Structure 1
Amino acid sequence: MTRPDTGAATTGTTRPPRLSTLDRFLPVWIGLAMAAGLLLGRWIPGLQGALDAVKAGGISVPIAIGLLVMMYPVLAKVRYDRLDSVTRDRRLLVSSLAINWLVGPAVMFALAWILLPDLPEFRTGLIIVGLARCIAMVIIWNDLACGDREAAAVLVALNSVFQVLAFGLLGWFYLDLLPGWLGLDQSGIDVSAWEIAAMVAVFLGLPLVAGYLTRTLGERARGRAWYEDRFLPRIGPLALYGLLFTIVMLFALQGEAITSNPLDVARIALPLLTYFVLMWGLSMLLGRGIRLSYERSTTLAFTAAGNNFELAIAVAVGVFGVTSGQALAGVVGPLIEVPVLVGLVYVSLWARRFFVGPSPVAPAPDRA
């Protein structure tokens, strides 16, 4: 996927960046992919069962392939020699961990209870979505919005570690302990930390290692100029193709459930829409308030607003079944998340004018 031309905009004194022609129509491609997935799942007999049956270690192989293709080009662009400048930014790291693991799950729990008081299955599914912090597509949105690639890589890695350590504990708290205090009738969640670790290793670990080795070996063999000017533009569009393929496969899995229950989808969509916008807006304001640069504020906002719907769907299906309301809520997640976060990419680029100068802790990243 091609990255927007940033020019000299990191100084805050020049015109905002423009998306490439390919990326400018991204909402159109995503809408077509959603429609194609829904139609395939609805009209082709046995397709959902066939896709769901193709698994390796409990992971859907078609979805895994799409994610690997989507993630690799973006992670191959990361300047890994600059990661130390991100880890030194304690304001960014502490803010991200607090927003993702304290604020995010609590906000989703509150929205699910307030807006879906009579639909406990959907409410449970949304809470699972809130617990699954984003480790995949956030890199795409961050890249389109000209966020800090290196910061995104670090924050995604931290979310991956915390996902393994905290998902089960937070699931017990929000699905067992807290609902009991509030008088809600919800079933508990029992998911193995090893299963989560395996999903993280596939969706993030493999493309991260591949991206790091590609940049390291490519620059060593041909130089940085060749790598960034010749190699990256060639593999960049693969990210978009992988994204669209993943969306088609994902929506094909529950196309019939989505098209057969439009009112249920609308009920689930309202708390999701509120959640994504609220988390993004609060994080963006926090970044500006603690004097982060535009690039890192954007990264903070998208890593807070995005969710790992692949993991949420896998957990909901594994615990409650593929036809459950919890699984349907997980599938509706990307239906709402994808267009909303694409829209927030444009809002981010517009909001860039309110940020002046790079982060004080490190020089602005070289976009050449």
Structure 2
Amino acid sequence: MSVFERYLTLWVALCIVVGIALGHVIPGVFQAIGSAEVAKVNIPVAVLIWLMIIPMLLRIDFAALKEVGSFWRGIGVTLFINWAVKPFSMALLGWLFIGWLFRPYLPETQIDSYIAGLIILAAAPCTAMVFVWSNLTKGEPHFTLSQVALNDAIMVVAFAPIVGLLLGLSAITVPWDTLVLSVVLYIVIPVIIAQVIRRQLLASAGKAGLERLLHILQPLSLVALLATLVMLFGFQGEQIIAQPLVIALLAVPILIQVYFNSGLAYMLNRISGEQHCVAGPSALIGASNFFELAVAAAISLFGFNSGAALATVVGVLIEVPVMLSVVWIVNRSKNWYERGAAVQNLQKAERTV
């Protein structure tokens, strides 16, 4: 994990300050950026999102899908958490905390938008940072790669229906044309571009060439993320100054869903007898979010000034410290995990064979 990634929360906090300050000093520049749209797509943001997402997708090897059967317990648990639990639990937490408990402390006109942002944030599992979290837990690399490849394949067809369903249940108007366009722009096209580049590079320069390119592009990806955040907070500055508790209140349901989903995945793996090196990354993939896609989708659907965009950014703000705490829990509980009856029975059966 690079120093830049380890201190992502600090950089995001600095982006909040810089963005708010610039929004007050040069508001005309931000208005010009916000108006640079073609077919409801903000061109500067689209470029930045591609710079964020494509380097991450370069790591994905869809050939790893053939390994899925080797880790069927962990794969099954993670798929259940990612696609049947996490988006719906986040919607429930959004309704409970933002729509009810915290409602008096939030701007009334943005309540539905905040809930929408939380739903979008939880609707797609993380693609890139999970490789870091898996490595920190000494996770099985083939499981992590195959799980991420499978999630990406599912995301192409499942992201829009899940978001549309949950926004509809929340009585939030779903701009389906914009939602589908977002999926094409920020999932389908980047996946195709990344896979074409990956295959050509592996054929010409091998894995060493791919690693060199990733080493060059990874900092560019993070810089693009931070530039997007500066723009977001340039638009959100007045709202944040008027409601300084907004970020803290939005963080509550995000924190709860991370610990709930990671804990549930960890326990289900233990009950099923899966080995710890699979259960660790399974819990982390089950809990983490593809926040780059979430930010892009929220901006496309609701705009820079929306509560939805702000809610997804809060996910970025707390991602690193929260996931590092989950890593710590997984590592510290390894002995307890391996004392599970199902885990021990499976280990005995494997030794017998």
Give the equivalent residue in structure 1 for 2:199.
216
Matched, 1:84 2:62: no
Describe how 1:199-278 pairs up with structure 2 within 5 A.
199-228=182-211, 230-259=212-241, 261=242, 264-266=243-245, 268-278=246-256
Shift of 1:310: 3.3
Q: Aligned partners of 2:198, 2:299: CA distance in 1, in Å?
A: 32
Please, which of 120, 128, 133 is the counterpart of residue 145 of structure 1? Answer: 133
Please, which of 72, 79, 86 is the counterpart of residue 93 of structure 1? Answer: 79
Please, which of 260, 268, 281 is the counterpart of residue 290 of structure 1? Answer: 268
Q: Aligned partners of 1:170, 1:295: CA distance in 2, in Å?
A: 27
Q: Aligned partners of 2:214, 2:27: CA distance in 1, in Å?
A: 40
State the identity as a percent: 19
Give the equivalent residue in structure 2 for 1:196.
179
Give the equivalent residue in structure 1 for 2:151.
155
Describe how 1:45-56 pairs up with structure 2 within 5 A.
45-56=27-38
Shift of 1:305: 9.0
Shift of 1:132: 1.4
Give the equivalent residue in structure 2 for 1:343.
321
Shift of 1:282: 0.9
Q: Aligned partners of 2:204, 2:99: CA distance in 1, in Å?
A: 56
Shift of 1:116: 3.0
Give the equivalent residue in structure 1 for 2:98.
112
Q: Aligned partners of 1:31, 1:334: CA distance in 2, in Å?
A: 14
Q: Aligned partners of 2:117, 2:256: CA distance in 1, in Å?
A: 15
Matched, 1:23 2:5: yes
- The structure where helix makes up a greater share of residues is 2
CA deviations 1:245-283 (Å, max 9, x no partner) are: 221222223333333x1xx241x3344211111111011
Give the equivalent residue in structure 2 for 1:63.
45
SS in 2 for 1:223: helix
Q: 1:97 and 1:236, CA in 2 relative to 1: closer, same or farther beyond 3 A?
A: same
Q: Aligned partners of 1:57, 1:106: CA distance in 2, in Å?
A: 32
**Is the 8 Å Cα contact of residues 23 and 237 (structure 2) preserved in structure 1?**
yes
Segments of structure 2 that go 5 or more residues without pairing to the other structure are: 136-143, 270-277, 347-353
Give the equivalent residue in structure 1 for 2:259.
281
Matched, 1:303 2:289: yes
The one-letter amino acid of 1:128's match is A
Q: Aligned partners of 1:34, 1:140: CA distance in 2, in Å?
A: 23
Which segment is superposed worse, 341-350 or 302-311?
Answer: 302-311
CA RMSD in angstroms comes to: 2.9
Please, which of 157, 163, 166 is the counterpart of residue 167 of structure 1? Answer: 163
Q: 1:227 and 1:168, CA in 2 relative to 1: closer, same or farther beyond 3 A?
A: closer
Q: Aligned partners of 1:99, 1:338: CA distance in 2, in Å?
A: 21
Q: 1:280 and 1:69, CA in 2 relative to 1: closer, same or farther beyond 3 A?
A: same
Which segment is superposed worse, 205-214 or 51-60?
Answer: 205-214
**Is the 8 Å Cα contact of residues 99 and 111 (structure 2) preserved in structure 1?**
yes
Shift of 1:347: 1.2
**Is the 8 Å Cα contact of residues 138 and 303 (structure 1) preserved in structure 2?**
yes
Shift of 1:139: 3.1
Shift of 1:151: 2.4
Shift of 1:133: 3.9
Q: Aligned partners of 1:58, 1:143: CA distance in 2, in Å?
A: 33
**Is the 8 Å Cα contact of residues 63 and 250 (structure 1) preserved in structure 2?**
no
Give the equivalent residue in structure 2 for 1:121.
109
The one-letter amino acid of 2:160's match is V
**Is the 8 Å Cα contact of residues 120 and 298 (structure 2) preserved in structure 1?**
yes
TM-score (normalizing by structure 1): 0.75
**Is the 8 Å Cα contact of residues 129 and 307 (structure 1) preserved in structure 2?**
no
**Is the 8 Å Cα contact of residues 91 and 119 (structure 2) preserved in structure 1?**
yes
Q: Aligned partners of 1:59, 1:243: CA distance in 2, in Å?
A: 17
**Is the 8 Å Cα contact of residues 168 and 190 (structure 1) preserved in structure 2?**
yes
